[in-house]
Amino acid sequence: MQTLVAAEKRTPLFHYDFNPDPATEAALIDLAKAWRADLDDTGIHPFLSYWGDFLANPVGGASPTASWMQLLVAGTRIDLEPTTGWTGGSLTVSVTDAAGSNLSNQVGNVFTISQAYVMNTFALYDVFLTQRLLEDRLEITLGRFSAGQFFATLPAMGQVVSGAVNGNPTSLFLNAPFQSTASASWAARTKFLPTRETYIEVGAFQATPRIGNPAYHGADFSIRRDNGLLIMAEMGWTPTFSLNSGRDLKGVYTLGGYYANNPTDTFSGGTTRNVFGFYALGQQMIWRQASHPNNNLSLWGGITVSPQDELAPMPVMAFGGLIWQGLIPNRENDSLLLSTYLGGFSTPYANAQAEAGNGRPTMETVFEISYLIQINKHLQIQPDLQWILQPGGTGDIPNALVIGFQVGVTF
C-alpha cells in the first residue's frame, strides 16, 4: 500500500512511502471493507480478473520466440431485490480487454498455448438477467452471454495455463459455433436441480460468424435471416463421498451434447446445416489428508466426439490430469498440475490440408506441468512448462518446448 507524504529538505517535494504506519494502513483496510459491505447491502457485487502470460519456446516450433498475452474481465452482478423488490432476480454486465500476441502462431500448433488469448480488443461481454426460483433449484438466464460460461467445463480446466481446455475443450471451437470468453451472443438458458447432487441444463445461442469478430467489439446486437442456432444440453452429477474419518471427497461428472443448424462448409466443398457432437467430463478428489484437508489429490479428464469427420477438423479430443493441492508443507493453497491434451484430426480435413500444401495432420499432443503459487487471496503466480509433440499434427514442425509463467489477479 502506498501513501503520498511530504518530503524532507533537499529531497523531491513528494515521494512514495511503501511503509505506511500501521494505524494508517489499518484505517484504510477498514474503510475498504466498509465500502464493500455497503455495496453488498445494496446488492452490487463488482468483480475483476486479470491474467498475464509470458511464454517462450526456446526449443522447436516453426519460429522460436517469446510473447506476452493479457486478458482483463471486469463487471458487476446486481441483485435486484434490495432496490426493486424483485425476488431472486439479478443483472450481470461485464467487459473484456485483451492484448498481446498468440505464441501458437509462431510455434505452429493448434492448441492455443496461452489461455489469455481471446478476442484481441476491448469488448462488451455479458449483459444478462438471471432469475432463481423454487428455492434456487431452478435458474433461468436471458440476454447476451456465451455457451462456454455454463457448458462443457470443469473447475480444474480453469487452472491450467494452456488454452487447450481453459476453460473449454478446443475441439468445440473448431467443430461447432461454440463461443466463450469475450464472445457473447443472444441466448437463453435454464438449469434445474432434481436433487441436491444432480442437474439438467439446456441453452440456446445465436450462431453467426460475426460473433467474436473484433471489428464489432461485442456490440453487434443484430439478428439476421442467415443466423443459425446452437443448442447445448448437459446433465451433471456432483457427488460428495464421505469417508469414515469425516473427510469429504467431492466430484463433478457431466455428459453433454450440442446441435447447430447454421450453414457449415464441408471439406469436400459442400454445405450442411446439421452439426452435432458430444462430450463427457469428470473431476474427482481421490485422497485427502485427515489432519490437513487442504492437502488433497484430484483426478480430472474428458473426451469430446464429433462424428461428422467431413466437417469436423478434430472429431476426437481427449484430455486429463491431476491436481495435488498442498503438496509442499505450509503451502496449503498452492497446487501442482500435471495435464495432457490429445487431438486427432479427421481424414477429410487432413486430405484437404495436404492438397493445399499444408502437410497431412494426424494428431497433436501436449504435456503440461505447472505449479500455482497462491501469494494471497487475490494474487497468484504460476510457472508453466509445455511440451508440444507434432505441432499442427503434421510432423513437419519440430516438437516445441514452451516455458514461462502466468500472473493472475482476482477481486
d(CA 335, CA 65): 28
Closest-CA residue to 155 (of 251, 65, 51, 54): 251
Answer for the pair 385, 368: CB distance below 8 angstroms, yes or no. yes
Q: Is 25 left (phi over 0), alpha (psi -120 to 50) or beta?
A: alpha
Kind and range of the H or E element at 24? helix 22-41
Cell of 225: 435471416
Query: DSSP string of 72-115?
Result: EEEEEEEESHHHH--TTEEEEEEEEEEEE--THHHHT-SS-S-T
**Residue tagged 512511502 (cell numbers):** 17
Kind and range of the H or E element at 172? helix 170-175
Torsion 234-232-97-95 (CA) sign: negative
Q: What are the residue ranges of CATH 2.40.160.180 in the chain?
A: 42-410
Predicted local confidence at residue 113, as pLDDT:
98
d(CA 78, CA 129): 10
Superfamily, domain 42-410:
Carbohydrate-selective porin OprB (2.40.160.180)
Amino acid identity of 279? Y
What mean pLDDT is reported for the chain? 91
- pLDDT tens for the chain, residues 1 to 411: 333 333 333 333 333 344 556 676 566 566 656 556 656 678 999 999 999 999 999 999 999 999 999 999 999 999 999 988 999 999 999 999 999 999 999 999 999 999 999 999 999 999 999 999 999 999 999 999 999 999 999 999 999 999 999 989 999 999 999 999 999 999 999 999 999 999 999 999 999 888 889 999 999 999 998 899 999 999 999 999 988 776 899 999 999 999 999 888 999 888 888 999 999 999 999 999 988 889 999 999 999 999 999 999 999 999 999 999 999 999 999 999 999 999 999 999 999 999 999 999 999 999 999 999 999 999 999 999 999 999 999 999 999 999 999 999 999
Predicted local confidence at residue 300, as pLDDT:
98
Closest-CA residue to 349 (of 308, 318, 395): 308
